[in-house]
Every structure is written in C-alpha cells, then in structure tokens.
Amino acid sequence: MPLKKLLDAALNLIFPINCLGCGSEGTYVCDRCLKELPWLRPPCCSHCAATQSATPCRWCRHRPLALDGIAAAFLLEGAIREAVLQLKYHQVRGLAPVLAGLMEQAWQAKGLPADLVLPVPLHPRRLRHRGYNQSALLSRALGRGLGLPYDESALVRTRDTSPQVGLSRDKRVLNVQDSFIGKEAVSGKAVLVVDDVATTCSTLSACADALRKSGATTVWGLVLAREAPPPAQGHDGTRPFRRTRRGQQATRFGDTSG
C-alpha cells in the first residue's frame, strides 16, 4: 500500500471522519445528507445573491457593489454552518477540497468568467494568530478543480480591520474601505475572488474595488454560503452566540467575512 494511503488510514483511525449532517463515519458529507444540503435557490438577488429578494435587491439599487456579481452555493444553515465552523476555527482543513467541489457547481451554474482565482486575504497579524486562511484553502482547491491559475499574493490586506461581527451594514462597508491592494498580476484578468461566507458582501466589494484599480477587467465573488445580512441601520445586527461541537468556544460569524 502506498505510504500516503497508509498515513491516511492511520489518521482516520485516530481522527475519524464523520458526516457533518448525520454523524455517520467515512465522509464529511454522506450521500443522503448531500441531497438535503441548503442549496441557494431563487428567489435571490442576481447581483449579491441576497435571498428572498427582488432583482436587483434594494441594497444593490441603493449602493451597488464594486463586484460584477456574487455566486453562492448554499445558505448558511445546518451542515454547511457546521462545516464553516469546523474549517474556520477547528483546523479541519480536509474539508476544503470537499466544499470547493460543491462550490464548483455554483460557479458552473452561474457561468462566471475567470482567468485567475484568489482568496479574500487575511491581514498578516491575523494569519499568524489563526495559522491559515480558510478562504485560501478553498480557493486553492477550487483553482485545481477548475484548472484555473491561483495566486494568493495578487491581493493584499493592508489594514488589520476590526471584526465585522456586531456592525450594521453601513458600518461594515466603512470598516473595510481601502483595506486592500491589488497587484500587477490581476491587470487585464477576469478575477474570481473566493470566500467562505458573505453577509453584506462589503469585504468582497472592497476587494473588487482594489482589483479594479489594479486593472482587473471583471471581478466576481464566489462564496460557499450566503448569510442573511444585518439591517443597514438600527440595532447592531448581532446574533446569539453558538456553541461549537467541542463546546469550548462561542462563535459568531462575521469576524473576517462581510
């Protein structure tokens, strides 16, 4: 047996792989749960993928995104919510190729143009703290699956912004404004920017603004899941803390995604 298969078998014994939906062993998403995943379906905004919305939605009419548009594979519910938690906070990096494979279907359904795939970057300080960028794991696997070039260095985060969680929609936009710089590698390219979750799409839009300034011809966003956004004004849009499977950390989404 090849060494890699022996190592994989040993790791599966120590850290068994369980379905995030039903808990059955052997795969992260079993065939039964795959059919029950919360796929994003119409009605949704054709530009930002906001659910239960007219096309374009009121927000896109009021303040259009710098992106050409966004495609999302799922709603942030059930097994997909659990998958994001495990990938983002619990080092379950083996999920990335599985989730990227599901994201490919959203990319194909939308027919997005792409010459180059890149992730929403973390600031170096946050990257050192977390140890990896979950969006980079997804975009790298996606690039391999689609046979497209991948460049993690083509977009840089220059400001270590405050977490997005707890901010209203308007404040999220201001929080990430002018936080990114695109590199020469994107000039003349149709760029596909990958992230795990989109809430207000303000982070993706700020990325697109930087990429356009560096000469990108089109910028589309592709995310694993779309979360219902907080209101533009009024209360702060926070949600109750959710206990993770390990019961040790209370987590809200939106710390880096926007």
Give me the residue spans of the domains in the chain: 1-36, 38-251
Based on DSSP, count helices (H) and strands (E) in the chain, helices before strands: 9, 8
Q: What is the pLDDT of residue 10?
A: 38
Residue whose pair of structure tokens reads 């990325």 in the numeric block: 207
Q: What is the pLDDT of residue 62?
A: 86
Q: Which of 209, 210, 143, 223 is nearest to 183 (CA)?
A: 210
* Beta carbons of 137 and 108 less than 8 angstroms apart: no
* Beta carbons of 121 and 154 less than 8 angstroms apart: no
Distance CA 149, CA 54 (A): 34
**38-251: CATH, from 3.40.50.2020, 3.40.50.1110, 2.40.40.20, 3.40.50.11810:** 3.40.50.2020
pLDDT digits (tens, 9 = 90+) for 2-35: 544 444 443 444 457 889 889 998 899 999 999 9
Cα atoms in the 13 Å half-sphere on the side-chain side of 193? 34
pLDDT digits (tens, 9 = 90+) for 140-176: 999 999 999 999 999 999 987 766 666 666 777 666 7
- Mean local confidence (pLDDT), 62-67: 90
DSSP H or E stretch at residue 145: helix 134-146
Bridge-partner residues for 150, per DSSP?
117
Q: What is the pLDDT of residue 51?
A: 87
Residue 241 has pLDDT above 80, yes or no: no
